[in-house]
Amino acid sequence: MLARISSLTLFPAYGVGVIGYAIDGPLAGLVGAQSVFGVGAAYGLLSSAVVLALPSVRALRWREPDHDHDQEADVEPGPVSPSSDP
């Protein structure tokens, strides 16, 4: 199941990114590389700012680790008994 979920998250990163490269090359030839990089940088900054401005994202808080479960009793492993299976 994890492999299916991972494939769904990796597809946009690797699969759709190639389509963007195919569009960016000819577009840079038409309007110039600086314009394409400028629009890409502005889009990256603005889209990140919009996501960070969402109240549900801003309301997220770090949870402190639960130290009660981290301090388990010190148990030393005992000797391993030999198996009776051949």
The domain ranges of the chain are 7-53
Classify 83 in phi/psi space as left (phi over 0), alpha (psi -120 to 50) or beta: beta
CB 61 within 8 A of CB 69: no
What pLDDT does residue 1 have? 74
Q: At what angle do helices 17-31 and 33-53 cross, to 10 degrees?
A: 130
Q: Rounded to an integer, what distance in angstroms lies between the CA atom of residue 2 and that of residue 8?
A: 10
- Stretch 39-66: mean pLDDT, rounded? 90
Residue 72 has pLDDT above 60, yes or no: no
Mean pLDDT, the chain, rounded, equals 81
Q: Is the pLDDT of residue 78 over 80?
A: no
Task: Using the predicted structure, report yes or no on whether residue 18 has a pLDDT greater than 60.
Answer: yes
Statement: residue 31 has pLDDT above 90: yes
Residue 62 CA, distance from chain mean position: 17
